[in-house]
């Protein structure tokens, strides 16, 4: 989906807006300064066009959350009675007065209906305006900010204001104070033509898996589809192509899944799937570039393993477009937000969706403004209320900032105090998604980069109280005091293998690692569970966490060895029960299937 917004008559709009200078303005949002690593350069060019997304308050969101808890709780009589698209939109819709007030405000600047785009629930309004007009509307000044490590530049401000009477009708406007650097989660291994060293056993013969079944010993050095089915006890389970179950993965940052690579992968790892394809969905102008040069390691990994593991379940790949970083000496057309809102807007407007969706992208929680993070998180809650299982990789920085190299991690708060803290990842920290950490080797241990910890934004949800409290009580008094929020939502929830996945990239086989591997893997086994439930006439599992923490954890392999270092510490340790390294552990499909069918 690409927005078709008409260009505003710039000069006329400014003339019309002059009278607003006399209206009392009040600061809506401000930050101390740009996050660590960002440096302010000159002012943004006044004619540079910026895409502003305006979030309107959702007065019925508490009712939406109530529905989510009820339909996701295996003990509740409404378990599995999911809401429809129309029902969720009704609960996400702004008050009619808000629509009128905001429309009047926009109209006073010459921005009429034909110049804007409204989301399906009308809770987001999108406009494209020159920087000069945005500055007039928001009583602010935009500047160019450059990141010292990557060199990328963006157009942002550290404070913006609105007329006082508008505050109750506008929840937030972005991009303004948001300095996210959305990235796919992969360790520093990234891509290698040879397997990484460190296997714990010979590569010939067999090993005994956690379910007592034999596993080819080569799986200790190379992870394939066969290895995962053996390790996670799903050999012999066959999914349906026709019962209505579907699986999807998301792609961002111009990551394109290459179809020739996919077929070569199928021939190598799942010959039954050779010749099959997936449904491609473009979101916000996302492309489907099939040149070898454009193939993305992340997109190839996600599609090859998720679609190879679940074949013949019908698969979907969402390609979400987004403007590149602003280049000061190039004619970059538009600055936009990180892409989750665009993706959420699209999928929320669709009547039918895949029941299981995996995403391997995220950012440091503290770089996402709190009100923006909570708003996006509520969008995931709405999908859960519709019966969709949303899974995110937990990150590759251990307890650090997403950099898998502990020596280069930057573990400082960005609130102006620059104190050392652990850095959780978002959206993995959202309590309405299932966060997936990483393991390696057989027997499985926590992989060193497995993202984990505790959210500084979201309080611990009720479903985590027992498990997380037990873990915290097991820590020695004073452990990492002040470095993490013991009352925050704990991540991850579960885990899966995340090391030495054999994929095909640009016609060559090679190895990748990261929780990018773990999320589509765990999602594939969730999709198999949904397949079985749907074939038996049951609803899909939907938002997984209440079920996982109530009963599903008994179908997971508890990981008790390993830790996730970062920020100059050893990080947290994997231990008996839930831990902030591997959650409750990795799937034992036969046990999970029995538990899922009983729910």
Active site residue ranges = 298, 302, 516
Residues 6+ apart with CB under 8 A from 290: 256, 258, 259, 260
Neighbours of 465 (CB within 10 A): 11
Q: Are strands 159-163 and 25-30 parallel, antiparallel or unpaired?
A: antiparallel
Q: How far apart are the first and last CA of the chain?
A: 37
Tokens 């509740």 label which residue? 76
Residues 6+ apart with CB under 8 A from 581: 437, 446, 450, 452, 492, 495, 559, 562, 563, 564, 571, 572, 573, 574
Query: Is residue 559 part of an annotated ligand binding site?
Result: yes
Our separate counts of H helices and E strands in the chain read 14, 29
Residue 398: both structure tokens together: 């251990």
Rounded alpha-carbon distances, angstroms, from residue 438 to 20, 159, 178, 273, 547: 53, 38, 28, 26, 21
H or E element in which residue 303 lies? helix 297-310
H or E element in which residue 425 lies? strand 425-426
Neighbours of 526 (CB within 10 A): 27
Residue 269: both structure tokens together: 């790892």
Tokens 């799942």 label which residue? 270
Task: Give the whole-angstrom CA distance, residue 549 versus residue 533.
Answer: 19
H or E element in which residue 590 lies? helix 589-598
Burial 82-96 (b: 16+ CB within 10 A, else e): bbebeebbebbbbee
Instruction: Give me the DSSP letters along 139-171.
Output: T---EEEEETTT--EEEE-SEEEEEGGGGGG--
Query: Is residue 577 part of an annotated ligand binding site?
Result: yes
Query: Is residue 558 part of an annotated ligand binding site?
Result: yes
Tokens 């799903």 label which residue? 234
Rounded alpha-carbon distances, angstroms, from residue 149 to 37, 38, 52, 181: 7, 9, 26, 11
Largest CA distance in the chain: 80
> Residues marked as binding?
558-559, 577, 579
């Amino acid at each position: 989906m690409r927005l078709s917004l008409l260009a505003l008559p710039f000069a006329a709009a400014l003339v019309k807006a002059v009278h607003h200078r006399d209206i009392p303005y009040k600061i809506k949002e401000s930050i101390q300064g740009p996050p660590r690593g960002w440096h302010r350069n000159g002012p943004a060019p006044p004619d540079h066009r910026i895409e502003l997304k305006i979030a309107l308050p959702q007065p019925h969101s508490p009712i939406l959350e109530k529905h989510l808890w009820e339909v996701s709780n295996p003990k509740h009589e409404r378990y599995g009675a999911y809401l429809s698209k129309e029902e969720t939109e009704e609960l996400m819709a702004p008050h009619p007065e808000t629509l009128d007030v905001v429309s009047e405000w926009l109209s006073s600047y010459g921005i009429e209906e034909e110049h804007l785009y409204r989301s399906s629930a009308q809770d987001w309004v999108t406009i494209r305006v020159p920087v000069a007009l945005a500055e007039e509307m928001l009583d602010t000044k935009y500047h160019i900010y450059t990141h010292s490590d990557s060199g990328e530049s963006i157009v942002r401000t550290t404070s913006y204001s609105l007329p006082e009477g508008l505050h109750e009708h506008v929840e937030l406007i972005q991009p303004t104070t948001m300095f996210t650097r959305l990235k796919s989660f992969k360790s520093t291994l990234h891509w290698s033509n040879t397997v990484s060293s460190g296997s714990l056993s010979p590569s010939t013969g067999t090993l005994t898996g956690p379910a007592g079944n034999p596993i080819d010993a080569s799986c200790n050095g190379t992870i394939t589809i066969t290895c995962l089915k053996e390790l996670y006890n799903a050999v012999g389970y066959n999914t349906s192509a026709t019962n209505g179950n579907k699986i999807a993965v998301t792609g961002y940052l111009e990551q394109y899944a290459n179809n020739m690579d996919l077929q070569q992968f199928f021939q190598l790892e799942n010959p039954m799937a050779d010749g099959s394809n997936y449904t491609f969905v473009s979101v916000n102008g996302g492309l489907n570039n099939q040149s070898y040069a454009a193939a993305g390691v992340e997109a190839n990994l996600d599609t090859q393993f998720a679609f190879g593991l679940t074949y013949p379940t019908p698969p979907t790949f969402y390609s979400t477009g987004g403007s590149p970083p602003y280049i000061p000496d190039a004619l970059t057309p538009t600055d936009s937000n990180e892409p989750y809102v665009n993706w959420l807007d699209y999928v929320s407007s669709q009547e039918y969706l895949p029941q299981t969706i995996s995403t391997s992208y995220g950012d440091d929680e503290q770089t996402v403004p709190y009100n923006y993070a909570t708003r996006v998180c509520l969008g995931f809650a709405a999908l859960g209320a519709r019966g969709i299982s949303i899974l995110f990789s937990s990150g590759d920085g251990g307890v650090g900032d997403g950099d898998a190299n502990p020596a280069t991690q930057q573990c400082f708060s960005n609130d102006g105090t620059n104190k050392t803290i652990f850095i959780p990842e978002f959206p993995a920290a959202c309590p309405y998604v299932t966060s997936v950490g990483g393991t390696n080797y057989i027997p499985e241990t926590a992989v060193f980069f497995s993202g984990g910890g505790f959210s500084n934004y979201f309080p611990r949800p009720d479903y985590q109280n027992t498990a997380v409290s037990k873990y915290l009580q097991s820590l020695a008094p004073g452990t990492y005091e002040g470095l993490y929020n013991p009352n925050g939502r704990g991540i991850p929830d579960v885990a899966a293998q995340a090391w030495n996945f054999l994929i095909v990239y640009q016609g060559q086989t090679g190895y990748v690692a990261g929780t990018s591997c773990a999320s589509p893997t765990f999602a594939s086994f969730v999709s198999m569970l949904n397949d079985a439930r749907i074939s038996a006439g049951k609803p899909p599992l939907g938002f997984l966490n209440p079920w996982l923490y109530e009963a599903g954890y008994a179908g997971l392999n508890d990981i008790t060895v390993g830790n996730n270092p970062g920020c100059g510490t050893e990080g947290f340790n994997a231990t008996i029960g839930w831990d902030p390294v591997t959650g409750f552990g990795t799937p034992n499909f036969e046990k999970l299937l029995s538990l899922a069918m009983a729910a």
